[in-house]
Amino acid sequence: MAFQCQRDCYMKEFVTSVVSCCPAELKQEVNGRKETLKGFNVLLKDTILFPEGGGQPDDHGLIGEVPVLRVTRQGPDAVHFVTSPVEVGQEVRVTVDWERRFDHMQQHSGQHLITALADAMFGYKTTSWDLGRHRSTIELDTPSVKAAQLQELEEAVNEKIRSGIPVSVQLLDLSDPAVEKVRSRGLPDDHAGPIRIIDMEGIDANMCCGTHVTNLSHLQVIKLLGTEKGKKNKTNLIFLTGNRVLKYAEKSYSTERSLVSLLKTGPDEHVEAVEKIQKSVKLLQKSNLSLLRDMAVLIARDFKNNPHRGNFFSFHKKEGDNEFMNIIANEINTEETLVFLTVGEEKGAGLFLLAGPSGQVTELGPRILELLQGKGAGKNGRFQGKANSLARREEVEAFLRQRCKHHSSEEE
């Protein structure tokens, strides 16, 4: 079955009727966390909202005033997930999120064009592709693509766009001999209905279920950003089509203006200016590390030279690392002294080190992890790790100081 979105990819509104509405759940990821959303699966008599497929994400839109959050294909049906029920049998107006739809049309048709010409010009077959949120990727069956080939390919695809070549859709029966002549990576197991062919006149005929432009001029422009090493003997070609190129140019210009202001140089000198800054930063980091090491030694010696030092030492510094803490611990005789060191934001995340008599460290380490909400491990009288929060540092220090007093009284 071909949906209305496939018969007319440019239709923005469509009146149809509700066939069914059943309770359902949608699993989605929000800010890196997996959530399950309760709602309803809606079947319509027909739809202009494309269900994900062919490497193309689904459409978003409205059924009446109800937002459609996901559209999937199940056999011949398009299933629309909504959070509010709609009445079965009622006539509804379906509206597509046109900006999202047209973007997908440009990227998908752009992929077909690039794929066809990469094959025709260099024999590089497309093995898969991904329509990303910001940029798209075509996986080519070649270990590498030369810079000159990339430039030649970009010039060729944009020449086809300027030529205004029409793009048409054909619906063929699976038994039609013409099906054997078109490019295809196979049909899904649950495919139903006629075979849909996207025909770029004189360039490519490809089996595809996605939404496409009707003329290559609607792609506006294609920019091949470059290539990356893909899977074994594959190359990923990264590209932008149409409005994404314009947004990319706008963002690049905005970034350029910001860098001009920050670096106090023109765009042509930005790389050189950043390289100079990086060299300066490395020298400063090296100098800072040397100072921290000297400081660590002085901190430890100051404690050792204190005649009233006791058997517990605690120290915190905002700037520092594991090496800084270990130098202090190495300078102090931890066979007789329990040492608790932390670096990082006082109320935020940081690093910690507990060093001292092996038995004490093994016993106290897990409790320190708990109080600092951290992760770590220990052996040979050292227990160190990452603290998610140093907010309870003073509490840890008081706890350790008390344990040291208790340990000393037991020895007496």
| Residue type (1 letter), 336 | E
- pLDDT tens, residue by residue, 93-127: 999 999 999 999 999 999 999 999 999 999 999 99
Of the pLDDT bands very low, low, confident and very high (cuts 50, 70, 90), residue 189 is low
The conformational region for residue 3 under phi > 0 = left, psi -120 to 50 = alpha, else beta, is: beta
In terms of pLDDT, which residue wins out, 54 or 259? 259
Q: In the prediction, which pLDDT does 114 show?
A: 98
Q: In the prediction, which pLDDT does 188 show?
A: 55
Q: In the prediction, which pLDDT does 181 show?
A: 65
For the chain, list the domains and their CATH numbers.
Answer: 2-95 (2.40.30.130), 100-249 (3.30.980.10), 291-407 (3.10.310.40)
Structural tokens at position 109: 């048709």
Of the candidates 122, 226, 109, which has an alpha carbon nearest to the alpha carbon of residue 160? 109
Of the candidates 336, 345, 344, 286, which has an alpha carbon nearest to the alpha carbon of residue 312? 336
How many helices (H) and strands (E) would you count in the chain? 8, 19
Q: pTM of the prediction?
A: 0.76
Mean pLDDT of 55-79: 94
Mean pLDDT of 213-235: 97
- As a whole number of angstroms, the distance between CA 327 and CA 32 comes to 38
Q: In the prediction, which pLDDT does 53 show?
A: 83
Contacts of 191 (CB under 8 A, 6+ apart): none
Of the pLDDT bands very low, low, confident and very high (cuts 50, 70, 90), residue 346 is confident
- pLDDT tens, residue by residue, 135-180: 999 999 999 999 999 999 999 999 999 999 999 998 887 767 666 6
- As a whole number of angstroms, the distance between CA 57 and CA 70 comes to 9
Q: What is the mean pLDDT of the chain?
A: 91
- As a whole number of angstroms, the distance between CA 198 and CA 196 comes to 7
- Among 116-125, 181-190, 316-325, 401-410, the range with the most confident prediction by mean pLDDT is 116-125
Q: In the prediction, which pLDDT does 1 show?
A: 58
- As a whole number of angstroms, the distance between CA 21 and CA 49 comes to 16
Contacts of 61 (CB under 8 A, 6+ apart): 48, 49, 67, 68, 94, 95, 96, 97
- pLDDT tens, residue by residue, 64-73: 999 999 999 9
Mean pLDDT of 176-201: 70
Of the candidates 91, 110, 201, which has an alpha carbon nearest to the alpha carbon of residue 157? 110
Q: Three-state SS for 3?
A: coil
CA contacts within 13 A on the Cβ side of 142? 16
Over 60: is that where the pLDDT of 185 sits? Answer: no
- As a whole number of angstroms, the distance between CA 401 and CA 338 comes to 9
Phi, psi of 39 (to 5 degrees): -170, -140
- Among 81-90, 292-301, 369-378, the range with the most confident prediction by mean pLDDT is 81-90
Phi, psi of 192 (to 5 degrees): -135, 145
Q: In the prediction, which pLDDT does 61 show?
A: 97
Of the pLDDT bands very low, low, confident and very high (cuts 50, 70, 90), residue 231 is very high
Of the pLDDT bands very low, low, confident and very high (cuts 50, 70, 90), residue 190 is low
Over 80: is that where the pLDDT of 184 sits? Answer: no
CB atoms closer than 10 angstroms to residue 91: 11
Over 90: is that where the pLDDT of 355 sits? Answer: yes
Structural tokens at position 340: 């608790």
- pLDDT tens, residue by residue, 5-17: 999 999 999 999 9
Mean pLDDT of 225-236: 96
In terms of pLDDT, which residue wins out, 109 or 184? 109
Q: In the prediction, which pLDDT does 284 show?
A: 92
Over 90: is that where the pLDDT of 31 sits? Answer: no
CA distances from 369 to 323, 393, 407 (A): 20, 11, 21
Q: In the prediction, which pLDDT does 175 show?
A: 65
Is the Cα dihedral 324, 325, 328, 331 positive or negative?
A: negative
